[in-house]
Structure 1
Amino acid sequence: MRRTFSWLPWVLLILVTLGFLGWQQYQKPKSQVAADGIKMPVEKIEPLVDTKRAGGIDSYSAAVKVAAPAVVNIFTTQKVKQVEHPLLNDPAFQEFFGDQLPEQFAQERNENSLGSGVIVRSDGYILTNNHVIAQADQIVVGLNDGRRALAKVIGTDPDSDLAVIKIDLNELPVLPFKLSGNDVGDVVLAIGNPFGVGQTVTQGIISATNRSDLGINTYEDFIQTDAAINPGNSGGALIDVAGNLIGVNTAIFSQSGGSLGIGFAIPAKVCQQILNSILKDGRVVRGWLGISLMPIQQDNILEPKQAGVVVADVLPNGPAASAGVKKGDKIIEVNGETITSASHLINYVALQAPNSTIKIAVVRGEKPLTLDVVVGERKAQNNTSQYIPLPKR
């Protein structure tokens, strides 16, 4: 029997070998030709962040399960008087009575609003925004587990827009304060009751820290976030991915009334200080100088920013006036600490106990002076601005 020889397997083997060698050659780093004609190898560039690293978070459900039960819905009712009567549209009636309308035409009605709060102690103490419960005749707290209870106001602090209320219920969940620092870029979650739709969680990052000079509150040291915050979120929690409370949501910057990705929360450290002060004294005690301030004007914007602030006005018989501070003085230091802005000075003085003495270094004209000022006690007051404190719905 004659034996035949097949060339087909050998041809296929040769083609596969050549293809493999060509593929290897293609995978080698290509070279580029420099200006002088010398071939230079192109290096492989590694990414700055390893997106395939192990341990990445793809869900925040664990943090939400820890924190959400301690975030409550707050329903407030305020009784208001509204004048309603058919004669009000009669020009003769309006001309006769003017603005002094008879009391019998006034009808009382209830005005409702919504907000959020955070349970911070197991004995029923809740932190929320002052503007959520201000002037409320009745406050009802709704828990995540379906329970409801009437709340009473323990204390308020309009200057920071915080308030402490209390409910009498057992087995309450508590959200712990995170007092360590927060970094720009950290992932955060906002929990609250926006527009009354029910408890909602939104996610974002910390956009900035130590935001001040915004005109929202008298004392400002905000965390800025792009987590969606809307009316009804006021007093709700801003948490980290571990479920710790890092702030209380309080305001948004908006021209439409809705979220534009610029929200502000009061840091947990400030919240804890306000809570402890209200529980101890029934109010927040702060130091006060009795002056208004403005930044130092610089003619050359390319020059480094100058330290200090300028005294724009001095309250007669106030602590600063009694110590000899005058309009136009440049305040450079307080107790040896360099002052960088008006909010820096206000916050520093606020921490000083009333009747304590501080040393203020000023420049009057070209002459440096050191004045001893006996700190007074500041009275609470409210501010208004273009920033929306997420009030009522």
Structure 2
Amino acid sequence: MKQAVGTLAFIARFVVLGLAVAFVISLLWPGVGDRLRAGVGLHSAQAPGSGTSAPTIRGRSSGPVSYADAVARAAPSVVNIYANKMVTEQGVQMYSDPVLQRLFGGRPAIYKRREQSLGSGVIVSSQGYVLTNNHVIAKADDIQVLLYDGRVAKAQLVGADAETDLAVLKIDVSSPPVIPFADEHPARTGDVVLAIGNPLGLNQTVTMGIISAIGRQLSSSSPEDFIQTDAAINLGNSGGALVNTDGELVGINTLLIGKAANAEGISFAIPASSARKVLEQIIDSGHVVRGWLGVDYTFVPVAADSGLPAAARGAQVSDVYPGGPAAQAGIQPHDILLRIGKDDIVDAADLRRREAALPPGSKVEVSGLRNGTPFHAEVTLAQRPPLTPTASLDG
């Protein structure tokens, strides 16, 4: 019995000694256990939830510590724009002679002064094309562009589009830095974005925020969608770049809603996809062409006790322009439009986008309900007439 107890005690001492040695080795060489297990054909166990199948966002499992790389990629393409114009004002010219001044007081006079608007722009083509806001350069006699590297260039206006508040300029400089478009990373609500521009004359200022919403429509008569963001936008940011964390162009900053409206952190940008379409059309023809049905429409009203959702599918015609395409096709007020071409109409905003995307002169079948009865009409679209923007642009 004593011999058995002695043997167990001997074994226990060596087990304890072995564990102690293994603990020391694991502290000094942490990976030796995995290498030994791999040598005999065993694999190390993974902790729950530590597998490689965890979802990542754009190849990253967490956000970057710094956005300096994104800024370094995008900032050289962002320029300062100085738009100069002569402003005519009426005033009163006083006489230099005290007697005449006392008798006649003064006489009407016209004065001219030079006014300068500050804004931002983005170089989007190696040919020197620059996107900015229309309201930055409107009625300007002279447009100067200051590049990131200090070069100054005189810009020529290629064309402008009031509905998107976009303008295309062209500068003649060698090797202009071109910003990449976010083609593979479409904007999503919640994405981090950076606004780069010239607010209050403080060139190359970067602010950060998130995309608050996409698909915003700022005017009931415009087919254009906007990106809403809470990145700080100030006077002078207009026409600057809204970029993602990869330094790619997401939008062109255009509008802020100031504290006068008791708003804070509400700004808007034109999506890069829309800006590119405007850019291409202006370069090709000098202006943007949109299709037009010749009707005004709104959401489909639903009775409170009908049991249907508050906003039903389709769009209801509220007015038909005399002599317009819809009037010639027999479409009437109060008609409910449900389909245009091969596409179902989701709502009035969806119909505005679809009609604007169709080329003028094309024929399209419009289907809907008239007093509950299905109808079909073939409409030959006209070119959309120019509209006066209703939004107040403060960016």
1-structure distance, mates of 2:141, 2:122 = 20
Give 1:8's aligned residue.
none
Q: Quick one: which of 284, 307, 310 aligns to 2:313?
A: 307
Q: Quick one: which of 176, 182, 185 aligns to 2:187?
A: 182
Residue 284 in structure 1 maps to residue 288 in structure 2: yes
Change beyond 3 A, Cα 1:379–1:260: same
8 Å CA contact 1:287, 1:378 repeated in 2: yes
Q: Provide, for residues 105-129 of structure 1, a one-character-per-residue CA deviation record: whole Å limited to 9, x for no partner.
A: 1111112111110000122100011
Give 2:111's aligned residue.
107
Q: Quick one: which of 371, 374, 379 aligns to 1:373?
A: 379
- What pairs with 1:1-393 in structure 2 (closer than 5 Å)? 56-86=63-93, 105-180=109-184, 181-212=186-217, 214-215=218-219, 218-256=222-260, 260-300=264-304, 303-304=308-309, 305-385=311-391, 388-391=392-395
Q: Provide, for residues 184-241 of structure 1, a one-character-per-residue CA deviation record: whole Å limited to 9, x for no partner.
A: 21111000111222221001111111122x2288232111111111111111000011
8 Å CA contact 1:161, 1:217 repeated in 2: no
1-structure distance, mates of 2:357, 2:325 = 15
Task: Note the C-alpha offset of 1:78.
Answer: 1.5
Change beyond 3 A, Cα 1:216–1:126: farther
8 Å CA contact 1:160, 1:217 repeated in 2: no
Describe the SS at the equivalent of 1:320: helix
Structure 2, unmatched stretches of 5+, are: 1-48, 96-100
2-structure distance, mates of 1:216, 1:117 = 27
8 Å CA contact 1:216, 1:384 repeated in 2: no
Task: Note the C-alpha offset of 1:341.
Answer: 2.2
Higher relative contact order (CA 8 A, sep 6+): 1
Count of aligned residue pairs for this structure pair: 331
2-structure distance, mates of 1:289, 1:61 = 47
8 Å CA contact 2:196, 2:240 repeated in 1: yes
2-structure distance, mates of 1:383, 1:182 = 25
2-structure distance, mates of 1:326, 1:313 = 8
2-structure distance, mates of 1:59, 1:257 = 33
Task: Note the C-alpha offset of 1:368.
Answer: 1.1
Describe the SS at the equivalent of 2:312: coil
Change beyond 3 A, Cα 1:178–1:56: closer
8 Å CA contact 1:140, 1:148 repeated in 2: yes
* One-letter identity of the residue aligned with 2:195: A
1-structure distance, mates of 2:200, 2:89 = 25
Q: Provide, for residues 17-71 of structure 1, a one-character-per-residue CA deviation record: whole Å limited to 9, x for no partner.
A: xxxxxxxxxxxxxxxxxxxxxxxxxxxxx9x999xx9764110011111111100
Change beyond 3 A, Cα 1:320–1:255: farther
Task: Note the C-alpha offset of 1:140.
Answer: 0.8
8 Å CA contact 2:55, 2:61 repeated in 1: no
* One-letter identity of the residue aligned with 1:345: L
2-structure distance, mates of 1:210, 1:106 = 46
Describe the SS at the equivalent of 1:228: coil
TM-score (norm 2): 0.78
Deviates more, 1:248-257 or 1:107-116: 248-257
8 Å CA contact 2:122, 2:239 repeated in 1: yes
Structure 1, unmatched stretches of 5+, are: 1-45, 95-100
TM-score (norm 1): 0.78
Describe the SS at the equivalent of 2:174: coil
Describe the SS at the equivalent of 1:69: helix
Give 2:31's aligned residue.
none
